[in-house]
Amino acid sequence: FEVDQRGDGLAIAAAGGQQADGSGIDAAIAAEHQQTVDTAAGEGAITVGKWLETQGFEVKYLTDAKGTKDVRVSDVFDAIEEFVNRGTLEQLVVYFSGHGFLKNSAEHWMLSRAPVNPNEAASLTESVEFAKDSGIPNVVFISDACRSTPASLQAERVRPSIIFPNS
């Protein structure tokens, strides 16, 4: 991938559990990262988030579209951690659309500041492993991202983070 091509989207959705009145608890986070003319990735995250709302999910949106603030690994981690800490969820959906790459047989998602900030990427492979211990019985990851190999030293130096808490 080219290190100057950025434009990613991320949606995180959770469902399940019950509130005190017996009604279901459904939740979602939709995040996008798009800093290019091509807005398909960001629009994809918003579209998925809106669809999840129609399915009864609570949706939180994280976006850097249209000049808003960057989507940072800490934003994504905090949003997921909030859902994990509820302890009542039956399902969590994590949807990512945008730039990614494959390194050492592991998929990495590039967030707003990557690859310039080598810490602003998410490790799908490691996050899947951490999700297994999150206490949420059904965690679904959907990755609509390129999986090309790093094409530059800058991209090779990216060190992705884990977006699930260490439960």
- Alpha-carbon distance 1 to 3, whole Å? 6
pTM listed for this prediction: 0.82
pLDDT in tens, 37-74: 345 555 777 888 888 888 877 777 777 766 667 888 99
pLDDT in tens, 118-149: 999 999 999 999 999 999 998 888 887 778 88
